[in-house]
Amino acid sequence: MHDLNKALGDISNIRMQMARSTDFRGYGPVTLAATGVLALAAMAFQWWWLPDPSQHLPAYLATWIATAIVSAAAIGAEMFARTRRMHRGMADEMIRMAVEQFLPSVAAGALVTFVLVRSAPEAAWMLPGLWQVIFSLGVFSSCRFLPRPMIVAGVWYLMTGLLCLTLKDARALSPWAMGIPYGVGQMLVAGILLYNAREAKDEG
């Protein structure tokens, strides 16, 4: 029994090593581009519905948190289906690896939002910049199993987040401060994945 458990453990380790050395193909370009469009739609909605978001912080948070949840749900649903189709025997390991890479940044973003809104609401203008910086860390962390050009997307989110933080006041809560970074950023990610898929197909 001990030998059997050891053998199963060795097989599991080998599968994880193979997963770490394989490009993850579970993210679909079309869905990612759609989340970019959704960010632009949320931007337009905020512009129309919340002309002064600093005076309506709960509504502002509800708008962008709902946008993030819908985007994550769409990406997650496709990721599970696509990974099982693309990676087959290693699907579970690939999904686990993808979630493990991005989950810390998601948790950090949620906790920072909770603490800042609860303890220092006057500093809520920092949230868009902090969200983007934290999101960039998730992208950088995921770059190890995504196409190399994906680092450009990480740099994009990092720079837009830092730019938002330089605004120093309620201007950082404008619809453009979230809509442009995430709208353009998600389409950039989709473009990189699409280009990489076509390049891999041509090489094949």
Q: What is the pLDDT of residues 72-125, one digit of tens each?
A: 999 999 999 998 887 776 777 788 888 888 999 999 999 999 999 999 999 999
Mean pLDDT score across all residues of the chain = 87
pLDDT band for 20, please (50, 70, 90 cuts).
Answer: low
Q: Which comes out higher in pLDDT, residue 148 or 90?
A: 148
pTM over 0.85: yes
C-alpha span between 23 and 37 (Å, rounded): 26
- Boundaries of every domain in the chain: 2-203
Task: Give me the pLDDT at residue 2, please.
Answer: 53
**pLDDT at residue 156 tops 70:** yes
State residue 72's pLDDT score: 96
Burial class (CB in 10 A: 0-12, 13-18, 19+), 111: exposed
Q: Are the CB atoms for 97 and 145 separated by under 8 Å? A: yes
Q: What is the pLDDT of residue 90?
A: 75
**Rounded to 5 degrees, what are φ and ψ at 127?**
-55, -50
Instruction: Specify whether the CB–CB gap between 24 and 146 falls below 8 A.
Output: yes
Higher pLDDT, 62 or 4: 62
Q: Residue 188 pLDDT more than 90?
A: yes
* Distance between CA atoms of residues 22 and 147, nearest Å: 10
Residue 84, pLDDT score: 85
> Token match 């997963």: residue?
19
The more confident residue out of 148 and 157 is 157
Give the model's pLDDT for residue 1.
52
